[in-house]
Copies of this chain bind each other. A is one copy, B any other.
């Protein structure tokens, strides 16, 4: 079943080894412990009155681990819904995340500011690296089943770079706020991936259509991913917000947004089915849209009430997107979006960006008090008005969409180079081209054997 083109014997090892050796050299050259991970520096802080409990590790490491679970279990298992692509879903997710988090450390470190020519790292940079990785995994969802691991590593290489540039423009140049990444992570990752999959359009993909669906147990595996993403989204959105009320409030806003989103997702999943039956695709995905949509405004004084409205709308938009918009995108715009990332990350991300812009423009000292300094430092120090902050948030959305679409266009064409070993249209969504499959004695293969016998008998 494996043609020469998809044989990864040389391509994959060489790509992995070259990338990793470059990473090691660059880390050796320009990366250092920050003040909180360096033995000498931290103990000087202690000497000057800090306490071990002040180390940022204790403020952020539990959140980091929750984010880490989302990246590796959440995204990885969410994509195992396909019947014969579970190894690749979890396995390639694992590979490209392991690469992307290292590369992101360098790219984000470079743009976030060097210290004497060096990148300083600690738990906050680890969270940011995982965030950037999340964006790559969103794009992976759009091209799932149709790309080789080498293509995915190359995509990650470029996408991380562009992510870091976009993030720099938004957070440093425009002073936008986007702690949970409605724009930087979700909107960027989704539209980047959609453009890549558009460029990689496969007119004969129906040859693999019979594998582009789930089976009973693959849907249960996918639910592991869904539930972990859902549970830990409050940690995701709050992981890098300011200490104190900011982390606390962001987590809580996200919690209520997700709860409301789940209710509207179930409602619309049942409502849009002719027989009222729930669709696992909606439950696995749309119920998460509330987390995406609370990514920008979650740290603001959105109130639980506001969070619930946002989540409620996100769930509706997402289900309707899966039901009505995805088929149109595929037929009219030739966008083959395997996981429907437009519905889970794209539209809810845009919604989140808009909610963030509106909420920012409504910020008043009366509501935020001294807390304004943490959420909107430029409003607090009089540099911007609230409206100006809102405008910058809106501009950030536009920049993100532009960067994502242009970047995806560029990278899509790069990925079309034949040397990267993309599978042919007839063997998409199939693990066996990249993985040793379990042996002949296995349970599943005994089934196959029975089926084969049966078919032969019916034929003969």
Contacts and interface: CB of A to CB of B under 8 A. Distances in A.
Contacts of A366: 40
Given A24-B305, A244-B52, A252-B126, A83 B371 contact: no
Interface residues of A, number: 155
Interface in A224-271: 224, 227-228, 230-232, 234-235, 242-249, 251-252, 255-256, 258-260, 262-264, 266-268, 270-271
A99 interface: yes
Contacts of A36: 245, 248
A374 B46 CA distance: 13
Nearest to A21: B312
Interface in A401-460: 433-439, 441-447, 450-451, 453-454, 458
A327 interface: no
A300 to B, nearest CB: 9
Nearest to A221: B220
Interface in A30-61: 31-33, 36-44, 46-47, 52-59, 61
Most chain B CB within 10 A, of A41, A268, A276, A366, is at: A276
B12 A266 contact: yes
A28 interface: yes
A98 B262 contact: yes
B277 A24 contact: no
A23 interface: yes
A210 interface: yes
B62 A59 contact: no
A84 B264 CA distance: 25
Interface stretch (A67-75, A138-146, A170-178, A332-340): A67-75
A370 B98 contact: no
A90 B241 CA distance: 32
Contacts of A57: 244, 247-248, 251
A161 interface: no
A450 B219 CA distance: 22
A203 interface: no
A372 B39 contact: yes
Interface stretch (A181-189, A279-287, A351-359, A383-391): A279-287
A273 interface: yes
Contacts of A235: 61, 65
Contacts of A258: 98
B369 A43 contact: yes
A304 B31 contact: yes
